[in-house]
Amino acid sequence: MGSYKECRDETLLSADAIVVDHVAQCLHRGALKDLAEAGRIGEKDITATLGELAAGKKTVTASSGSRILCIPIGTGAMDVAAAAVVLQRAEEQGIGGTFDFAV
């Protein structure tokens, strides 16, 4: 899920966990916007951010039949972090290359 409303409000409200990349942005636009504006969902309803999960600060436990929604709006920091992982793995495998953008 991302920047647009992609599922019904009931689905969002009945989720066992909601994971986002940036809490304020996810409540300001996208799937959670209308619910947040109506006061039906807020920061307290967000289980964790992707950063908190990656850093081990929070966990999300999934059981059979549980619904965990991930709503990444998309932040520049996430793009840079993903690119860094791709570069690291490419270098480890000896594939790809780098170039200077300032040229």
Determine the 3-state secondary structure of 68 from DSSP.
Answer: strand
Domain boundaries, the chain: 9-93
* Alpha helix stretches (DSSP H) within 5-75: 9-13, 23-28, 33-37, 50-54
Evaluate whether the domain defined by 9-93 bears CATH number 3.40.50.720. Answer: yes
Q: Residue 86 has what DSSP assignment?
A: H
Per-residue pLDDT 10s for the chain (103 aa) are: 555 677 889 999 999 999 999 999 999 988 899 999 999 999 999 999 988 998 889 999 888 889 999 988 877 777 787 788 889 999 999 998 888 888 6
Does the reported pTM lie above 0.75? Answer: no
Strand order in the sheet with 17-20: 48-49, 17-20, 68-71
